[in-house]
Copies of this chain bind each other. A is one copy, B any other.
Amino acid sequence: MSTGSDSWEKIVRGEIPDTHNVDWEKLRAYCQRLFISQGMPEDEAFIAADCLVDAEMCGVPSHGVSRTSIYLKRLQTKVVAGKFHPVVEKESPASVLLNAGNGMGMVAGRYAMQLAVYKAKENGSCFVFVNNSNHLGMVGYYVRHAAEQGMLGFATTSAPPAMAPWGSKESFLGTSPIAVAVPSHGEPVLLDMAPSLVAMGKVILAAKLGTGIPEGWALDRDGKPTTDPKEGMKGTVVPIGGAKGSGLSMFSQILGGIMSGAEYGPHVNSMWDDFVNPQRMGHLFVAMDISKIVDLDAFKDRLQALREEIKALPKIEGVSEIFMPGEIEQNMRAKRKANGIEISDVVYQELTDLGEQYGVEFTI
């Protein structure tokens, strides 16, 4: 496999030749069985597998099945609880604090967002804070489910350190995503963004795949630009808009971590090399029932008009189409549903090995 950012871009787009084409439902069923093998109930294992495979479908392999191995290891070592019961610690008509019982972040996230949706349907809107949780994968996954139920959905999370606060050179803030989505006549309009130019997940995947990274993505531990993802992993990623991206992450730590009673930034234990101390991550999920403010179809009509205006705008040179937030990922999902997902050699081999390791028949 060649190195360099060109190859990296091709991997992200699923265009490199040395990949395996796999069916998404088979891949999901296999991942589900792997999670069941480590003590997760069937339905919750399904959620975890669905979240990972959905990231692959969207063309976001950094949050996809390449993470199955680490999640399994965390379940096996019991630093993450396979069976757990989220507990409501505080509740008002439009806010909830949920203790995730150190379970899988994806399961806690899916439950928490659904609780926000139920309560928003009753009362108009709802904030659900989650503590005692773990890494929760691609955050767009949760807000999409809210939007599909007629909601404005929002989510963020605390995260381990990967980015320096503006003015510092020390990794302290997480590259916590913020995600927001609304329903449309087609797929939801969905923004899922890290406060850095790229998420640390992409740097980590590049290191795993042995590719380089473009300059501008990451700084090494001395605060100098690097194209080596392994050096970038030891250093920091660069915030968008300087103080602005830094401020966005600060608020993800405050809302996801501090307000929920969970941990943030440097106090979140590493998912990758700490199998003793739980991560104690926290999240925030918000749902707002659009139909209580405006007729949902009228809203979708106006959103459609916005979309058509955007599509008709004059483009800069080299751009063939202007996309709505989330549209590129949705196009990729449709394509991969129909034609299969391209999984890189490295990740495919890893999935094969996991079957042997955990005694699960490899069926993708």
Contact = CB atoms under 8 A, between A and B. Distances in A.
Interface of A: 90, 92-95, 97, 120, 123-127, 129, 152, 164-170, 172, 180, 182, 189, 191, 193, 197, 223, 240-241, 243-245, 247-248, 250-251, 253-255, 258-261, 264, 266, 286, 288-290, 292-294, 299, 302-303, 306, 309-310, 313-316, 319, 321-325
Given A167-B315, A259-B290, A264-B306, A250 B189 contact: yes
This protein's copies in its complex: 2
A252 to B, nearest CB: 10
A125 B316 CA distance: 42
Given A167-B323, A240-B240, A303-B254, A94 B294 contact: no
Contacts of A266: 309
A97 to B, nearest CB: 5
B259 A293 contact: yes
Given A240-B245, A299-B259, A325-B250, A95 B193 contact: no
A304 to B, nearest CB: 10
A127 B124 contact: yes
Nearest to A255: B152
Given A168-B310, A168-B316, A189-B250, 4 more contacts: A164-B313, A164-B316, A191-B248, A240-B240
A342 to B, nearest CB: 23
Nearest to A301: B258
A251 B325 contact: yes
Contacts of A170: 313-314
A319 B253 CA distance: 23
Select the residue from A124, A248, A292, A293 with max chain B CB neighbours within 10 A. Answer: A293
Contacts of A258: 299, 302-303, 306
Contacts of A319: 167-168
Given A191-B251, A321-B167, A172 B309 contact: yes
Given A90-B293, A244-B193, A169 B315 contact: yes
Contact of A293 (B95, B193, B240, B303): B95
B240 A244 contact: yes
A90 B259 contact: no
A95 B313 CA distance: 34
Contacts of A97: 293-294
